[in-house]
Structure 1
Amino acid sequence: MHEARRPGAAALGVALLLGVVAVQWLPALPPPVGSALPGLVVLGASLRWPRLRLPALVLLGAAWAIWRGALALDLRLPRALEGRDFEVVGRISGLAQVRSDATRFVFEIERATLDGRPVPLDGRVRLSWYEDAPVLPACTRWHLRLRLRRPRTLLDPGGLDGERAALERRIAAVGYVREDGGNHALGQTRCVDGLRERLAQGIAARVPDPHDTALLQAFSIGDTRGLDQDDWEVARANGVPHLIAISGFHVGVAALFGIALVRLLYLAWPALALRLPRLPAQAAAALLSAGLYGALAGFGLPTVRTLLMIAVVALARCSRRALGGAQTLGLALVAMLLADPLAVLSAGFWLSFVGVAFLMLCLDGRAHGLGGFLRELSAGQLVMTVALLPLTLWFFGEASLVGALSNLVAVPFVSFVIVPCVLLGVLALLVLPAAAAPVLRLAAACAHAQWWLLERMAQWPGAHWYLPEVQPWALALAVAGALWLFAPRGAPLRMLGLLLFLPLVWPVRHPPAEGGFRVWVLDVGQGLSVVVRTRHHALVYDAGARYPSGFDLGEAVVLPALHALGIDRLDLLMISHADNDHAGGARVVAEAFPEALRYAGEPARMPLPMRACLAGQAWNWDGVRFRVLSPRAGAAARRNDRSCVLAVDGAGGRLLLPGDIGSRIEPEVAAALGPPRPTVLVVPHHGSRYSSDPAFIAAVAPRLALVSAGWHNRFGHPHPLVVARYAAARVPLLGTAERGAIEVDAPPGHPPAVTVTWRQRRPRYWRE
């Protein structure tokens, strides 16, 4: 009998990956104790039946992910301690981000006390320091008074899962620094972030243009603090966010830099080869230079992946073993998963490994000369653009159709011109600071020219391509289609792989029927935003807040939700009144949909031109009637009572959107509403105690009440009295704070009903 062939490194990596990924779909983690038992049993059986080795590795990978996931969850602040003030001692991790409203930073807690008693709280917390925050140098230790809560985030269609990111980054809590006389620095420690900060300051002192400075800081040390939202918009439109901060390819360039230095050394002293062979020396130098550059980048995921691959190749060279590309990638994958199985929760993990795997599959690496290099580069960009399209849409909800061309220009210029210049400039800052200025200014001129071109290309048609939310089965088909399309020569009918992309790029849509409508009350924290859709029309009522930091819920929540829901045309933007928690995001939404009509209850206070919203305005879309019930023309009312009140009547029921009206206006609205119908009520004023009068609840007689409010908000919304009023009227009350975005369907012939809430839609073990 022939001995069973041992699985290769690629097969081992894929088996381990399958086990780790399977855990990430669980709504709750099983007990870590005992999770490894099935894998150990199968592993023992594989000694007798070698074909069980890969299944055993799948089970062990799952057990490893369960254990590490449980450890990460255990780091989180206990729920009973949320909202309390802690005295902590710790160290600033990374580089503090200074904004107009606050300084934001990550803090590694060493010890913590509550009311003078030690508490078991350690790990990383994400903090904001408001009101005249001091300078917070990297690596400094501080004694601080903190108000902390668990890392709970908004959950919406198309939105990023911040709780998943917090788990992957081991964030135990979020909060802010309390004003306290006891807050003080305890001294400076040594860490690589301190060096990164000094290099960032050195670049800023030698490059006059602030934007060029920000680009060079990103290229050299992965410091993206100087880049604003517009810069990332340009990067996404060109498909080049991976080039802005230090990417894996840049680390490879640093490795080549180390190899070049060793070659120069051996050219200068040929006798050195008698004492130390050149190839192992080059391998060690490549790993050392790549490691130093990766440390400057803060060891981001693409950086670590490339470092692991370089380490595998270096060890193989030192041991005089030849490794193929698949073996190298497989060993790097195994090392990554063993070091951190939660890395699979990040988009960078998948884009890095899948992208490299496709390049290895499609490019033979035998091209010679400039022409061959250009052909390989062009083919590589085409492969990356098409092969990574499914994952890009899955993680980000958008893709760039000009990305292949943008990368064709940007990748070689950034990697072989800008990055080497920046590396030389950084080396000069460390060794001979007086010589750094001309090198950095040359790099800045190159970066300026490159960015000028990217800004122009960002305006091309197709730079932003949005699709409805990708379904898992459509993602799987598209990845299979990419594998078929880019299979080696000889595979039959490869172009038919494009057909498997159709469910991804041409998804099936299910608009409401004639006379029906669908509603989404979005999770925008302490604010309001509602999307209403009929068969052929769509409306946005309020757009959430915009904060002094520049964070805009219109951009972060409303627009991604519209794209994810397949709404590519907006007919009407209605802002109930001009308070920031309702109107802050309006400008962004209006700019994204300039053809939409705009109405507001307080047009004079709005930051953009809008028509007055007045009682009596009405229209009909697809058999659904829309009526404005308040405010009346000429009526004197306070700001909240100037809110647009909108009633939506379909064939099966009604939706009432009252904005922030109070009990003074509620009788007028109830009288204008008309005969009772099955009604969904968005609770007035987020559940303030001065609204939702019992008489109003009785007059509207809602089947369901939805409240949009922030989790543990400082106003106490919804007020316990209001909650009691709805309970007394036997009206179910659902809140976005507890459930995330809420979808309600009102089909013709049936009363409105909740179809899904986003916090329960795809339950995951890391969700709050």
Structure 2
Amino acid sequence: MTVGELRQARTWSSTIPVALALLIGVSVVQWLPKLPPHGVLVILAACACALAWRVPCTRWLVVLIFGFAWAAWRGSAAMDARLPKAWEGEDFQAIGHVVGLAQIKAGTTSVQFRIEHVARDGQALPWQGLARISWYDKPTSEPEPCSRWHVLLRLRRPRGTVDPGGADGERSALARGISAVGYVRDDASNTRLSTSAWCLDRWRGSLAEGIQARVHDPHDAALLRAFTVGDTRGLDAQDWDVARANGISHLIAISGFHVGVAAIFGVWLCYGLYALWPSLALRCPRGQAQALAALSCAFIYAGLAGFGMPTVRTVLMIAAMALARCLRRTAGSGHILAIALIAMLLVDPLAVLEAGFWLSFIGVAFLILCMDAKGRGIRAFLHELTVGQIVMTISLLPLTLWFFGEASLVGAFSNLVAVPFVSFVIVPCALFGMLLLIVCPPLATPPLRVAEWLTHAQWWLLEQTAAWPGTHWFLPTVKPWALVLAMLGAVWLFMPRGVPLRVLGALLFLPLSWPVRQPPDIGAFQAWILDVGQGLSVIVRTHDHVLVYDAGARYPSDYDLGSAVVVPSLHALGMDRLDVLMISHADNDHAGGAPVVAAAFPAARRYAGEPARMPSPMKQFPMEQCVAGQHWNWDGVNFRVLSPSAGAQDATANDHSCVLLVEGRAGRLLLTGDIGMDTEPRVAMAVGPGPRPVLQVPHHGSNGSSGTGFIAAVEPELAIVSAGWRNRFGHPRPEVMARYAAARVPVFNTAVAGAVQIDFPATAPAYVAARWRVLARRYWREE
């Protein structure tokens, strides 16, 4: 080996450790509850430079420190870019342009809006940023991509619910650069100013419309739009459920395979040009030209797909490979992946906040680990399509459970069929049709129709396998140490041949697959007042039983708190069975999510304060009337229904609420729904003597409830309000909070505290309360 080759090998060998050190430094920042001040970051960067100069052998530590400082600085800058807190809830005259494709659902049109100028009361304000805004009435004209608008906005900082197992909306907003959320106020000045003559997102939208117009079946058209241009607007919750059940969500969101197909098209196109005009080789070597053609086609297609994480990762890998080819260097797959990782972290260190980053890079890393030694050619290709799917399913299982709380045990089989068929049959056919849409639209219909038939057949098969056992495998929240052990086990399991006792790597999956569960003791119980915005949902668990009281709201946009918060929280807390579902009354903010919860646990017994008024989907899940006097005992814990009385003719629907008292050996919990002051005296009398209860504040803290006499009679030790952040009702009302303060009752508000967890042990102390915004504190979650 020559000196140059040795130097080149040494350079490539240092790439992977540098990438790992940078990744560790960036990732550590995301666990911080608070970011360090800028001065500390400057000192860290200076120390790293001094260390690199004085002690060259510590370069990996230097890279790690640099990654930490870089990620912290970018995170701090992103938090500072958010809408100032003092401006929340105010109206602004804003001028900006639409980014991406509009999400149009029943009664709501949502877009990402890049605000260029903002004013309040006619005075310009020094703020710009990306906002997610919605029209709740039909806009004067459709907000097309890149169109500029003048609108009256009411804005606030991004804020999401914080629950066990729930999605983290604030983290997603930070990762995507969203600095504000809000809605368009009805105003005569709302108008579209102009529309850009050319725009990549508009091109995406027109291609999606062209596919929709040429494909007969709307559902098949929606799938083809997702496969080709990453437009998932036509897919509903059932489609995503089928995708998750089969472990093929990555295909719907456009995988790296699709970008690879576009790159191969670029290589073939270049090969054809050189075959027609051989003299081109005199001006530019064919190898370098093919590399650049592959990169160009991959980049263009990634743009059409919306630059999702898997597509960006693939483009970066192709760019690294093209660079090595143009420089006449050789590089292994691992080094190319490392270069792509370094580039991604340098450009956007906050990308590590998204699940797609980890699933994409780690999945490819495992494929490289297991496939690099398999040679080249068709045999290696087939090996990757078959054994590779098993490798991906097992190796990504820990991360899938960590991010989503569920995994598919049939994913390996589904991917074995779907990946090659979608990536090498459906997608090329659809892309050919899309190419014809651009150059000759009349000729696009036949290939798109063929792609429609193929897609219909593929989706029918996926719907059948989605009904197999093991398609939805739920586990409690994965502990960090169990995740690390399982990932080490996957690495050990798929190490090259010759590594001893590789099968023992499977043992490191045991803490992940069989987590330790700690149910309450006999006579004790636990409760979680979930953070469901302007609504209510409570989980109560005894040693062997579980009850859900209310299930949050369901909105016209199809956002359902039952599926987004309640069911994931049950699974995250290790509850795979529900014994009783009780819906206090039929208002949407209490009953809207009930159909999803009932469908997830059909064997549960169901009670309601207003069975006849329940949402129409609940007709297949009949509800029993809850009546004062009903009672039962689970594991030494008593449950008593205190209201409504049999035959009572309450004036309002709120007063029909089921009121439930849960009594353990050392503590009590009183769930009141939305009862008002007319019903409170009867409930207070029925509570009876015993330990001071923890009280769910009636009707979210409205002024028509929580009377002074009720508070004095019940004497709660702690009161918990379930309300939405900056809700339009002003709940909890200041006068209500003043009544609790006068009685010296501490109050937690889920809008501020997130989900509230209360442990009632079998012996003193009476209860222990914890707020999830404090338990799971991160720098992007605001209190």
Q: What TM-score, normalized by structure 2, do the two folds share?
A: 0.96
Residue number in structure 1 paired with 2:447: 439
- 1:369 Cα offset (Å): 6.6
Residue 539 in structure 1 maps to residue 536 in structure 2: no
Residue number in structure 1 paired with 2:259: 251
Q: Distance in 1 between matches of 2:295 and 2:723?
A: 51
Residue number in structure 2 paired with 1:578: 586
The letter for the 2-side match of 1:737 is A
- 1:422 Cα offset (Å): 1.3
Residue number in structure 2 paired with 1:654: 668
Residue number in structure 1 paired with 2:636: 623
Q: Distance in 2 between matches of 1:60 and 1:376?
A: 36
Residue 716 in structure 1 maps to residue 737 in structure 2: no
Q: Distance in 2 between matches of 1:571 and 1:300?
A: 41
CA contact (8 A) 1:39 1:60 kept: yes
The letter for the 2-side match of 1:748 is A
Q: Distance in 2 between matches of 1:229 and 1:333?
A: 32
Report which stretch shifted further, 298-307 or 44-53: 44-53
Q: Distance in 2 between matches of 1:579 and 1:335?
A: 51
Which of 108, 120, 130 is the matching residue for 1:124? 130
- 1:112 Cα offset (Å): 0.6
- 1:589 Cα offset (Å): 0.4
- 1:750 Cα offset (Å): 1.9
Residue 297 in structure 1 maps to residue 311 in structure 2: no
Residue 500 in structure 1 maps to residue 508 in structure 2: yes
The letter for the 1-side match of 2:698 is P
Q: Distance in 1 between matches of 2:480 and 2:124?
A: 46
Give the % identical residues: 62
**Tell me, what secondary structure is at the counterpart of 1:489?**
coil
Residue number in structure 2 paired with 1:327: 335
Residue number in structure 2 paired with 1:743: 757
**Tell me, what secondary structure is at the counterpart of 2:661?**
strand
- 1:688 Cα offset (Å): 1.1
Structure 1, residues 527-555: CA drift from partner, whole Å, max 9, x if none?
10000000000000000011111111111
Residue number in structure 2 paired with 1:64: 70
For structure 2, list consecutive stretches of 5 or more residues without a partner in the other structure. Answer: 1-5
Instruction: Report matched runs for 1:429-508 at 5 Å.
Output: 429-508=437-516
Q: Distance in 2 between matches of 1:145 and 1:640?
A: 35
Q: Distance in 1 between matches of 2:402 and 2:388?
A: 21
Residue 669 in structure 1 maps to residue 683 in structure 2: yes
**Tell me, what secondary structure is at the counterpart of 2:532?**
coil
CA contact (8 A) 1:309 1:328 kept: yes
In structure 2, the CA distance between the partners of 1:29 and 1:368, relative to structure 1 (3 Å rule), is: closer
CA contact (8 A) 2:333 2:372 kept: no
Structure 1, residues 187-225: CA drift from partner, whole Å, max 9, x if none?
111320011111111111111111111111111111111
- 1:44 Cα offset (Å): 2.9
CA contact (8 A) 1:679 1:752 kept: no
Residue number in structure 1 paired with 2:3: none
The letter for the 1-side match of 2:24 is L
CA contact (8 A) 2:722 2:749 kept: yes
Which of 718, 721, 725 is the matching residue for 2:739? 725
Residue number in structure 2 paired with 1:95: 101
Report which stretch shifted further, 99-108 or 25-34: 25-34
Q: Distance in 1 between matches of 2:117 and 2:281?
A: 52
The letter for the 2-side match of 1:642 is H
**Tell me, what secondary structure is at the counterpart of 1:47?**
helix
Instruction: Report matched runs for 1:15-30 at 5 Å.
Output: 15-30=21-36
Residue 268 in structure 1 maps to residue 281 in structure 2: no
The letter for the 1-side match of 2:738 is A
Q: Distance in 1 between matches of 2:151 and 2:660?
A: 48
Residue number in structure 2 paired with 1:641: 655
Instruction: Report matched runs for 1:130-209 at 5 Å.
Output: 130-133=136-139, 134-189=141-196, 190-209=198-217
The letter for the 2-side match of 1:70 is S
Which of 691, 709, 715 is the matching residue for 1:701? 715
In structure 2, the CA distance between the partners of 1:34 and 1:565, relative to structure 1 (3 Å rule), is: closer
CA contact (8 A) 2:154 2:185 kept: yes
The letter for the 2-side match of 1:725 is R
Residue 104 in structure 1 maps to residue 110 in structure 2: yes
Structure 1, residues 473-519: CA drift from partner, whole Å, max 9, x if none?
11111111111111111212111111111111100000000000000
Residue 237 in structure 1 maps to residue 250 in structure 2: no
**Tell me, what secondary structure is at the counterpart of 2:242?**
helix
- 1:367 Cα offset (Å): 5.2
**Tell me, what secondary structure is at the counterpart of 1:415?**
helix
CA contact (8 A) 1:652 1:751 kept: yes
CA contact (8 A) 1:680 1:705 kept: yes
Q: Distance in 1 between matches of 2:770 and 2:507?
A: 31
Structure 1, residues 388-431: CA drift from partner, whole Å, max 9, x if none?
01110111111000100000000000100011111111110110
Q: Distance in 2 between matches of 1:752 and 1:546?
A: 35
Residue number in structure 2 paired with 1:47: 53
CA contact (8 A) 1:676 1:700 kept: no
The letter for the 2-side match of 1:98 is I
The letter for the 2-side match of 1:658 is T
Residue 690 in structure 1 maps to residue 698 in structure 2: no
Structure 1, residues 302-330: CA drift from partner, whole Å, max 9, x if none?
11111110000001101110011111111
Q: Distance in 1 between matches of 2:239 and 2:193?
A: 36
Q: Distance in 2 between matches of 1:461 and 1:115?
A: 60
The letter for the 2-side match of 1:763 is R
Residue 75 in structure 1 maps to residue 84 in structure 2: no
The letter for the 1-side match of 2:265 is F
Task: Tell me the matched-pair count.
Answer: 767
Report which stretch shifted further, 158-167 or 265-274: 265-274
- 1:269 Cα offset (Å): 2.4
CA contact (8 A) 1:362 1:488 kept: yes
Structure 1, residues 661-692: CA drift from partner, whole Å, max 9, x if none?
11111111111111131311111111111111
CA contact (8 A) 1:43 1:53 kept: no
Q: Distance in 2 between matches of 1:91 and 1:301?
A: 23
The letter for the 2-side match of 1:630 is S
Which of 435, 444, 457 is the matching residue for 1:427? 435
The letter for the 1-side match of 2:366 is F
Structure 1, residues 234-254: CA drift from partner, whole Å, max 9, x if none?
101110110002221110111
Report which stretch shifted further, 290-299 or 35-44: 35-44
Structure 1, residues 49-107: CA drift from partner, whole Å, max 9, x if none?
22211101111111111111111111100010001100011100000011111101100
Report which stretch shifted further, 757-766 or 406-415: 757-766
Report which stretch shifted further, 39-48 or 152-161: 39-48
**Tell me, what secondary structure is at the counterpart of 2:41?**
coil
Instruction: Report matched runs for 1:508-547 at 5 Å.
Output: 508-547=516-555
The letter for the 2-side match of 1:142 is W
- 1:48 Cα offset (Å): 3.7
- 1:34 Cα offset (Å): 4.2
Structure 1, residues 448-492: CA drift from partner, whole Å, max 9, x if none?
111111111111100000000011111111111111111111212
Q: Distance in 1 between matches of 2:655 and 2:378?
A: 70
- 1:275 Cα offset (Å): 2.6
Report which stretch shifted further, 564-573 or 47-56: 47-56
In structure 2, the CA distance between the partners of 1:207 and 1:57, relative to structure 1 (3 Å rule), is: same
Q: Distance in 1 between matches of 2:269 and 2:766?
A: 71
CA contact (8 A) 2:761 2:767 kept: no
For structure 1, list consecutive stretches of 5 or more residues without a partner in the other structure. Answer: none
- 1:370 Cα offset (Å): 5.6
Instruction: Report matched runs for 1:4-23 at 5 Å.
Output: 8-23=14-29
In structure 2, the CA distance between the partners of 1:506 and 1:640, relative to structure 1 (3 Å rule), is: same
The letter for the 2-side match of 1:650 is G
Q: Distance in 2 between matches of 1:438 and 1:161?
A: 43
